[in-house]
Amino acid sequence: MDEGLTHIFNKRSGVKSLGTKVVGRKVYAYDVVTTTNDLAHFLAREGEQEGAVVVARGQTQGRGRHGKEWLSPEGGLYFSFILRPGLEPERVSRVTLSVGWAVAGGLQELGVGAVSVKWPNDVLLEGKKVCGILTEMSLTADKVGYLVVGVGLNVNTAQKDLPEGAASLAAVSGRTFDIDDLAHILLKRIDTGYGLLLEHKFCHILDDLRAMSQIFLGGRVRVTNGERVVSGYAMDFDEDGGLVVRRDNGTQVNVPSGSLEIL
């Protein structure tokens, strides 16, 4: 491991660099915080540079999409980072999916079990949720001023401490993991994915995601976005990472975001 996360994790707070191009150029590490997303928002509003990361060993008020609680016990990895991609809001799903791609790829490399991506923001291990991704944006006119992307990964948490339908790397594989090393691996992969986005090569990420998403692609799904509900067969991703669903009447609809239920 590069000079590293081992040192900053042992401090109440600290700053380090991973030597990456963007994500991880600066890393703030804490023991326990309210949420890493909240701290990243504060730093972004204060003008912190793109790629700054906030890492914590625990969160007291962790949250997921739509304000749902995200349990953040010790033994997990929780981090958020700031991006300033200059994207239109409708293309932000590209970022979330690229992070899911990076996390899933890192877990596959570790050989922890069957890893898959569940659109739009979850990574599964043996069919159970092991990682959630929360992307929040601040808008300036019709552009994204900045993004904060949060990642919560169940690493060494015991199965008895996890909610139903969740898994941890240790519970599935029977091994314990060095959280510092794991953070380093994932942040470097996320940086690579962000580089592909900036180089307009999201299509390469989509190619991999199709293989990583076989747990639901081709099968029946229900997608809920507010009051809108779309049911049918999940066929593919569109160029922005939205889900292409074929309804029972044969028509196809592109769903940019929502909550996915596998039927």
Q: For residues 54 and 28, is the Cβ–Cβ distance under 8 A? A: yes
Give me the pLDDT at residue 71, please. 58
The CATH code that applies to domain 220-262 is 2.30.30.100
pLDDT (tens digit, 9 = 90+) per residue, 84-134? 998 888 889 999 999 999 999 999 999 999 999 999 999 999 999 999 999
Average pLDDT, the chain: 89
Residues 205-216: b if buried by 16+ CB within 10 A, e if exposed: bbeebeebbeeb
CATH 3.30.930.10 is the classification of domain 5-212: yes
Spatial neighbors of 207 by CB under 8 A, at least 6 apart, are none
| Whether pLDDT at 6 is above 60 | no
- Number of other CB atoms surrounding residue 40 within 10 Å: 26
CA dist., res. 133 & res. 154, Å (int): 12
Taking only the tens place, the pLDDT of each residue in 55-71 is 988 877 665 555 565 55
148 and 40 Cβ atoms separated by less than 8 Å:
yes
Please give the share of the chain, as a percent, with pLDDT higher than 90: 74
Structure tokens at 241: 């990472």
Cα radius of gyration (the chain): 18
Question: Please, what is the Cα angle at 36 between 108 and 113, to 5 degrees?
Answer: 15
**First-residue to last-residue Cα distance in the chain:** 42
Specify the amino acid at residue 56.
A
All structural domains of the chain with their residue ranges: 5-212, 220-262
What is the pTM (predicted TM-score) of this model?
0.90
pLDDT at residue 4 in the model: 40
- What are the phi and psi torsion angles at 212 (to 5°)? -80, -10
